Structure 1
Amino acid sequence: MDRKLKRFLIKSFAVLAVIHLAYFIYGYMKFVGLQKINIYTEFYRFKFYDDVSISHFFVTCLFLFFFVIFLLRNHSKKRNTLSEKLRIGIILLLVSFFSLTFFISYSFGFNAKLRTVLPEKDLNKDKTLLNVLQPFLYNYTSYSSESLFNPENVLYPKPYPVIEQIDTLYYDPDNRGYYSTESNYYSIDTLTMLSADHKKLNNKAKLALDFLGFDDKELEKRIISKHEKGDSTEIIFKGIKVYPQADEKMCIFLQNKFLFFPLHKVPEQQQQYQNAIKRYDLLYKYSQDSLLYSFQRLNGLLKKYNIETQIVPKDLTKDVFYYRDHQQEPLNGIRNTYERNDLKDKFKTLDRLFYKPNYLHPSIMGIFFTVVMSVWAVLFLLYLIWNFRNRKLSSDDFKEKEQM
């Protein structure tokens, strides 16, 4: 490959880089904004009818047209070895690929603007706020759901979390048809001991069990799970009996641990526990102003994402503390109305754009690579044919001169 051809290829790739930069800037400028993002928002895919697709088609055609003309006219006369031809073939494949991917640079620009408007740190702050406030934001009918709200979902404070044990009480031992069931809750405790002492408890373990009020046989009955870690065994077992129904600081809002939307690459259990602590503090440790401020931040968040809401922070704060202190009343009157599905869809879309970007949409992937390979095949064949033709012409000219 001679110096002239190298210069030509470098200039060609420089032109491609400038075009890609132009599409990147165009994508950056065309970002629709957070408020207009919805479940259908995605990174650009070739549509054949909008400004990006039409301009892409003409720019690609013009570039390839002039590229081929200059390549064949000025750089196809030299006799090339097989390795040089293969090298040129690879370069032409790269030219084909980069001349057909301007729309991907457009998507890169879109993504860059998205991350400028909403840095990942701010997205995580918004998710954390929603996760902490999630139990206050359910539709009022959801508060009667035992799967969403029950004592087993309480993670904080001690002795929670608990596990439910349903005991059956038979009124007549000889007649099993008459019975009732009773739910009892036990704290979930952990005991670690040497594996060799698992069957024969050491003194420290015995003291701990004596404090809890049961012996090693009772421990065996209460074991939930065992995990061996090296030389030690970790035993998770049912500890003391807990009475959530009689706990004055165990309102319904603490009986939900589910996340509105999990943070990326942070264990969900860790998030749930941290949120439970913050939620407990808002309800029982801090003044009402702290919860009011959280709901004011929530209102700002909903406006930021263009979510229709009827939430009035002061009213919702009053409702939460009212139902905290009146645990037996159904939550029919909680004033927390907003477009829940729209907000959920918004964060699903943002999560997809942030962490699962499809710059090359699966629906066009097959067509795209077919077009790239077709363009490459045409370019490479034209080069080989022109190279062979030019060498033949030069050979014929040389023979004519010899005959003269």
Structure 2
Amino acid sequence: MSSKLKKFLLLSNVVLILIHIAYFAYGFIHFPGVKNINIYTEFYRFKFYDEVSISHFFIAGLFLLITLILLIRNHSRVHYSVKQLLLIGGVLLLTVANSLTFFMSYSFGMNASLKNELPEKKLNADKTLLNVLNSFLYPVGAYNSESMFKVTNILYPDPYPIIEEQDTPFYDPANKESFTVQTVYYSIDTLKLAEKSFDKMKKSADTISSLLGFGKAELANRIISQKTENDSTVIIYKGREVNPQYDDSVCVFLETNNLISPINGIDIKMQQQQNAVKRYNLLYRAPSDSLLRAFKSLDTLLKNYKIESYLQPAALIKDVYHIRDGNQQSVIEMQNRFERNQLIDKIKTLDRLFYQPAFFHSSIRPIFFCVLLGTWLFGFLIFVIVNYRRRAKL
């Protein structure tokens, strides 16, 4: 391969790199911004009808045509070995591939613009704020949902000392959709006995069952665990039936550990525990200014994400403290209205753009590779045929 041909092929790909940079800049400028993304937002997919696709088609087509003409006119009279032809074919394949991927540089530009506006660290900080405050942000009707808010969800400062059991007291075998579910809660109690005393008592099930407060028939089902500590035997068992929903000392805001959106790469249970600690501290330990600042940060976040909101941080913090102090019925008056579903959709979209960007969408891959191989094979065969005929005339 002559030095002139090497320079020509190198210069061709340098020009393509400059065009890629131009498309990258164009994508960076034309990213709509975090405020304007929605569930349909995606990085660019070749669509055949917009300005990016049309310009791409004409620029790539014109470039490849000029490259082929110059290649044939200036470099087809040389005698090339099979190895050299294969090497030229490989470089031409790279050139064609670079010519057909301007749209990907456009997508990379959009991605860079997104991460410039919202770095991953900032996105994770926003998620943390939303997850910590999530229990204050449900529609008022959701606080009556036993599946979402219940004491067994409490993680901090200590799990609520009960065990939940569900039973189906009514079930129609002929109609599998006809049934009722009854939830029963039992206290978790502990019995600690000296080991010698326990050894004497365990010979009589009547003695142990009388100590625990229920009959022998329930003994096996009631004991949760039994272990020896030093010189004592500790029995943990299901105690009496309780109704935790009537416990006014339990704040409803601690009864959920759901996340609006988990942070990528961190264990969800760990996040739930950490958020529960932060939420408890905001409610009970930190000065009221801390929770007020958190609500103000939330209000700013919603504006930055262009989420319709009627939040009033100063009024909301009063509602929260009023409910925390035992006025659970006041939850229906909380001033926490905003477009929750819109926010969740936007966070899901951001997660998809960050962690599943799909720069090279699966829907266009078959077409892309067919065009790539077809264009390359067409140009390369023309060059080989012209080269062969011109050599024959020499």
Give yes or no for the alignment of 1:183 onto 2:157: no
Q: Please, which moves more after superposition, 319-328 or 342-351?
A: 319-328
Equivalent residue number for residue 318 of structure 2: 318
Equivalent residue number for residue 274 of structure 1: 274
Check whether the contact 1:163–1:238 (CA below 8 A) recurs between aligned residues. Answer: no
Secondary structure at the counterpart of residue 333 of structure 2: coil
Secondary structure at the counterpart of residue 38 of structure 1: coil
Deviation at 1:248, TM superposition (A): 5.3
Equivalent residue number for residue 60 of structure 1: 60
Check whether the contact 2:157–2:277 (CA below 8 A) recurs between aligned residues. Answer: yes
2: CA distance, partners of 1:326 / 1:9 = 78
Equivalent residue number for residue 124 of structure 1: 124
Code of the residue aligned with 1:287 in structure 2: it is P
Code of the residue aligned with 1:137 in structure 2: it is L
Give unpaired runs (5+ residues) of structure 1: 170-180, 190-212, 225-236, 395-404
Deviation at 1:59, TM superposition (A): 0.9
2: CA distance, partners of 1:391 / 1:186 = 96
2: CA distance, partners of 1:385 / 1:298 = 68
Equivalent residue number for residue 34 of structure 1: 34
Pairing of 1:328-367 with structure 2 (within 5 A): 328-329=328-329, 331-367=331-367
2: CA distance, partners of 1:148 / 1:99 = 53
Check whether the contact 2:43–2:110 (CA below 8 A) recurs between aligned residues. Answer: yes
Pairing of 1:114-153 with structure 2 (within 5 A): 114-153=114-153
After superposition, the C-alpha distances for 1:99-146 in whole angstroms (9 at most, x for unaligned) are: 011011011111111101101000000000000011111111111111
Distance 1:60 1:186, change over 3 A: farther
Equivalent residue number for residue 232 of structure 1: none
2: CA distance, partners of 1:182 / 1:220 = 17
Q: Please, which moves more after superposition, 265-274 or 331-340?
A: 331-340
Equivalent residue number for residue 299 of structure 1: 299
After TM superposition, the score normalised by the length of structure 2 is 0.81
Equivalent residue number for residue 113 of structure 2: 113
Equivalent residue number for residue 373 of structure 2: 373
Code of the residue aligned with 2:50 in structure 1: it is D
Distance 1:36 1:98, change over 3 A: same
Distance 1:326 1:377, change over 3 A: same
Check whether the contact 2:252–2:328 (CA below 8 A) recurs between aligned residues. Answer: no
Distance 1:159 1:4, change over 3 A: same
After TM superposition, the score normalised by the length of structure 1 is 0.79
After superposition, the C-alpha distances for 1:73-112 in whole angstroms (9 at most, x for unaligned) are: 1222223232222222222211111101101101111111
2: CA distance, partners of 1:130 / 1:163 = 29
After superposition, the C-alpha distances for 1:306-344 in whole angstroms (9 at most, x for unaligned) are: 111011011111111112223542622111111111111
Q: Please, which moves more after superposition, 280-289 or 99-108?
A: 280-289
2: CA distance, partners of 1:22 / 1:112 = 14
After superposition, the C-alpha distances for 1:197-256 in whole angstroms (9 at most, x for unaligned) are: xxxxxxxxxxxxxxxx99xxx8997558xxxxxxxxxxxx87999985576552111000
Code of the residue aligned with 1:184 in structure 2: it is Y
Equivalent residue number for residue 45 of structure 1: 45
Equivalent residue number for residue 382 of structure 1: 382
Distance 1:260 1:65, change over 3 A: same
Check whether the contact 1:160–1:188 (CA below 8 A) recurs between aligned residues. Answer: no
Secondary structure at the counterpart of residue 183 of structure 1: strand
Distance 1:304 1:349, change over 3 A: same
Code of the residue aligned with 1:362 in structure 2: it is S
Check whether the contact 2:254–2:280 (CA below 8 A) recurs between aligned residues. Answer: yes
2: CA distance, partners of 1:38 / 1:22 = 26
Distance 1:182 1:137, change over 3 A: closer
Deviation at 1:361, TM superposition (A): 1.8
Deviation at 1:56, TM superposition (A): 1.0
Code of the residue aligned with 1:280 in structure 2: it is Y
2: CA distance, partners of 1:116 / 1:161 = 47
1: CA distance, partners of 2:244 / 2:350 = 38
Equivalent residue number for residue 69 of structure 2: 69
Check whether the contact 2:249–2:326 (CA below 8 A) recurs between aligned residues. Answer: no
Code of the residue aligned with 1:284 in structure 2: it is Y
Equivalent residue number for residue 203 of structure 2: none
Deviation at 1:49, TM superposition (A): 2.3
2: CA distance, partners of 1:185 / 1:3 = 86
Count of residue correspondences: 347
Q: Please, which moves more after superposition, 31-40 or 46-55?
A: 46-55
2: CA distance, partners of 1:138 / 1:168 = 29
Secondary structure at the counterpart of residue 12 of structure 2: helix
Equivalent residue number for residue 200 of structure 2: none
After superposition, the C-alpha distances for 1:256-287 in whole angstroms (9 at most, x for unaligned) are: 00000110101110100000001111111123
Check whether the contact 1:163–1:188 (CA below 8 A) recurs between aligned residues. Answer: no
Deviation at 1:363, TM superposition (A): 2.1
Distance 1:328 1:316, change over 3 A: closer
Give yes or no for the alignment of 1:392 onto 2:392: yes
Equivalent residue number for residue 262 of structure 1: 262
Check whether the contact 2:248–2:326 (CA below 8 A) recurs between aligned residues. Answer: no
Pairing of 1:83-102 with structure 2 (within 5 A): 83-102=83-102
Q: Please, which moves more after superposition, 73-82 or 117-126?
A: 73-82
